[in-house]
C-alpha cells in the first residue's frame, strides 16, 4: 500500500514539535489534502491537538507496545483514503525506553516503518553550531532516516546563510524555517500540555501559524519527501485463529466514559473492541445522571478527574449507578483517572478529599512528583483476570497521584531496570489500576473484556427470563 508520509522529530522535548506539527497539518488541510496524523509513543494529549486540526481521530504508533508487522499494519490501515500521513516524534529523536536505548524512540518508529524523518532544530541561541549539531544526529546511526531539517525560532536574516552552510557541508536539504511566533504557544500542566479546548482562540492561532508556515516552509518539498517513502504491507498480520480474530457470539453493549474528565483514550483500542463485537456507548460521569440502559460492561479510561472532582462528587446518582451495576456483577474496567474515580475518596488539585464511586476501598491522593511513570511490562499474579488466563502485556504509567490501595494482582516491571512493583485489582469482573493498556500489544486484554461482558449478558438474560417465569 502506497502511504506518502514523513516524520517530524527533534533533538529534545520542548523543541516545538507539537506546534509545528499542528501548523503543518493545517497547511496541508488548507491545501485540500486528506491528512492522517500519528503520534510516536503513548502520549494522549498531542493526538488531541492533531485531531482538532484534521477533524478526524489521530492515532498512536508505539514500537514498545507492538511488533513491527502489527505497527506497519496499523499505519497502513489508518491511512486508507488519505493523501499524506504526518507522524510526530517523541522526546529527542534517539531517546528510548530505559533512557539508554533507542527502543520505542522516534528513530525506531522511522526505521520500522521506513519513514523519512525531518529534524526540527531549535536554533535559539545558535548560529554555525547548528551544523555540527545536525551532523551528530545524521551520523549517530546508519541509516539515520533523517532526510531534511526545519529550523525553528530562526531569524529570517540569518536563515539564508545557515541554510547554505547546512546544505553545502552536510548535503541535507533544509525544508524551511519557523520564526518566533509568541502568540502561538501551547501551555503545559502536570500531565503535559493543556487540552485543545482550553487554548483560547486555538483555531485563529492555528490559522495564523499556518499562514506563516506556508510562507517560510518548503511545503512542496515536504510532500515530495513524503512520496519517496516505500510502500507498506497492508494485509492483516495475524492468523485466523489468533486472539486478534476473536468475535463475540452476540454483540455486547459497553459504556465508555467520555467527557472532560475522562478523555485519555486510544482510538485503536476502541476500534479493536468494536471488531471483537462490542457496541460502545459513550456517557459522561460529569453530566449524565446514570449509566446508559442495557449495558453489559463499563470502561473508565484516564484523564483529569482531579480537575473536575467537585462535579464528579456532586453527581451522586452516577456514582451510585456505577457502584450498583458493579455489585450486580457488571464488568468494570478502569485505568489511571478512571481508577482514581472508583475509590472511596479521591483528592482534587487542592488536596481536598471528595467522594468517589466506592468500589476500591481507600483513597487516591496527590503527590508532589511523578512516582511511577514510563513503559512497563505487566504480568498477572492470578490465574484468572476477568475470567480468563492472560500472558504478560506491555503498558505504561504516568500520574502524579497515588493510592492507598493500588492493587496486588499484577507485577509491573520497568524495562532495562530492576525496578518493579505490584499493582492492579483484578477479579472475575474487575480490572482496575493506574497502568494504561494498549490492546494491540496483547489482544487477550480486549478479548477478555468482551468475553466477560458476554458472560454477564448471558447471566443477566437468564436472570430476567427466570423472573418472567415466576
Grid cell digits, residue 254: 459497553
d(C-alpha 430, C-alpha 349), whole Å: 27
Between the alpha carbon of residue 73 and those of residues 49, 231, 290, the distances in Å are 24, 12, 38
Q: Who's near 66: CB < 8 A, 6+ residues apart?
A: 74, 438, 440, 441
Q: Using DSSP bridges, classify how beta strands 343-347 and 297-300 pair: parallel, antiparallel or unpaired.
A: unpaired
Q: Using DSSP bridges, classify how beta strands 188-189 and 252-257 pair: parallel, antiparallel or unpaired.
A: unpaired
Grid cell digits, residue 89: 516524534
Dihedral (C-alpha) 447, 448, 449, 453: value to the nearest 10 degrees? Answer: 100
d(C-alpha 322, C-alpha 284), whole Å: 12
d(C-alpha 351, C-alpha 368), whole Å: 11
Question: Nearest to residue 23, comparing CAs of 60, 53, 61?
Answer: 53
The torsion angles phi and psi of 251, rounded to 5 degrees, stand at -65, 145
Q: Who's near 22: CB < 8 A, 6+ residues apart?
A: 49, 50, 52, 53, 206, 209
The torsion angles phi and psi of 183, rounded to 5 degrees, stand at -95, 15
Q: Which of 79, 184, 263, 336 is catalytic?
A: 336
Residue with C-alpha cell 483517572? 337
Q: What single string gives the DSSP state of each residue in 277-346?
A: TEEEEEE-TTT-SSPPTT-SEEEE-EE-GGGGHHHHHH-HHHHHHHHHHHHTT--EEEETHHHHHTEEEE
d(C-alpha 294, C-alpha 297), whole Å: 9
Between the alpha carbon of residue 219 and those of residues 6, 120, 214, 226, the distances in Å are 12, 14, 7, 11
Q: What single string gives the DSSP state of each residue in 395-441?
A: EEEE-SEEES---SSEEEE-TTSS-EEEE-EE-SSEEEESPEE-GGG
Spell out where 66-114 has E strands.
Answer: 84-88
The torsion angles phi and psi of 161, rounded to 5 degrees, stand at -75, -40
Could you count the other beta carbons within 10 Å of the beta carbon of residue 139? 11
d(C-alpha 456, C-alpha 402), whole Å: 31
336 in catalytic set: yes
Positions marked catalytic: 336
Amino acid at each position: 500500500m502506497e502511504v506518502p508520509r514523513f516524520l517530524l522529530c527533534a533533538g529534545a522535548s520542548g523543541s516545538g514539535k507539537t506546534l509545528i506539527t499542528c501548523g503543518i497539518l493545517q497547511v496541508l488541510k488548507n491545501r485540500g489534502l486528506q491528512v492522517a496524523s500519528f503520534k510516536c509513543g503513548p502520549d494522549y494529549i498531542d493526538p488531541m491537538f492533531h485531531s482538532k486540526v484534521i477533524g478526524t481521530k489521530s492515532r498512536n504508533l508505539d514500537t514498545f507496545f507492538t511488533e513491527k508487522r502489527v505497527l506497519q499494519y496499523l499505519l497502513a490501515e489508518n491511512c486508507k483514503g488519505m493523501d499524506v500521513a504526518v507522524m510526530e516524534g517523541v522526546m529527542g529523536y534517539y531517546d528510548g525506553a530505559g533512557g539508554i536505548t533507542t527502543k520505542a524512540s522516534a528513530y525506531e518508529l522511522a526505521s520500522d516503518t521506513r519513514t523519512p524523518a525531518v529534524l526540527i532544530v531549535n536554533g535559539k541561541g545558535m548560529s554555525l553550531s547548528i551544523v555540527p549539531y545536525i551532523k551528530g544526529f545524521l551520523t549517530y546511526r546508519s541509516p539515520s532516516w533523517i532526510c531534511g531539517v526545519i529550523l525553528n525560532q530562526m531569524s529570517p536574516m540569518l536563515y539564508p546563510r545557515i541554510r547554505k552552510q547546512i546544505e553545502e557541508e552536510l548535503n541535507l536539504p533544509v525544508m524551511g524555517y519557523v520564526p518566533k511566533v509568541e502568540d502561538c504557544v501551547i501551555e503545559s500542566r502536570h500531565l503535559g500540555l493543556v487540552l485543545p479546548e482550553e487554548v483560547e482562540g486555538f483555531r485563529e492561532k492555528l490559522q495564523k501559524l499556518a499562514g506563516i508556515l506556508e510562507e517560510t516552509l518548503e511545503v512542496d518539498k515536504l510532500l515530495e519527501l513524503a512520496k519517496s517513502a516505500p510502500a507498506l504491507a497492508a494485509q492483516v498480520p495475524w492468523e485466523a485463529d489468533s486472539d486478534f480474530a476473536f468475535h463475540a457470539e452476540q454483540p455486547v453493549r459497553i459504556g465508555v466514559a467520555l467527557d472532560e474528565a475522562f478523555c485519555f483514550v486510544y482510538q485503536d483500542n476502541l476500534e479493536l473492541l468494536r471488531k471483537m463485537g462490542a457496541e460502545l456507548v459513550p456517557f459522561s460521569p460529569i453530566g449524565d445522571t446514570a449509566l446508559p440502559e442495557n449495558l453489559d460492561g463499563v470502561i473508565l479510561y484516564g484523564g483529569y478527574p482531579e480537575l473536575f472532582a467537585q462535579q464528579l462528587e456532586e453527581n451522586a446518582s452516577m456514582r451510585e449507578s456505577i457502584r450498583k451495576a458493579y455489585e450486580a456483577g457488571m464488568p468494570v474496567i478502569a485505568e489511571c483517572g478512571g481508577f482514581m474515580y472508583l475509590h472511596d475518596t479521591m483528592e482534587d488539585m487542592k488536596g481536598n478529599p471528595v467522594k468517589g464511586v466506592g468500589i476500591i476501598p481507600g483513597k487516591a491522593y496527590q503527590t508532589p512528583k511523578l512516582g511511577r511513570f514510563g513503559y512497563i511490562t505487566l504480568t498477572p499474579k492470578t490465574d484468572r483476570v476477568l475470567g480468563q488466563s492472560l500472558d504478560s502485556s506491555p503498558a505504561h504509567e504516568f500520574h502524579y497521584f497515588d493510592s492507598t490501595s493500588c492493587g496486588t494482582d499484577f507485577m509491573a516491571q520497568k524495562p532495562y531496570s530492576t525496578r518493579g512493583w505490584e499493582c492492579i485489582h483484578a477479579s472475575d469482573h474487575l480490572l482496575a489500576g493506574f497502568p494504561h493498556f494498549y490492546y494491540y500489544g496483547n489482544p487477550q486484554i480486549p478479548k477478555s473484556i468482551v468475553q466477560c461482558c458476554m458472560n454477564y449478558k448471558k447471566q443477566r438474560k437468564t436472570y430476567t427470563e427466570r423472573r418472567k417465569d415466576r
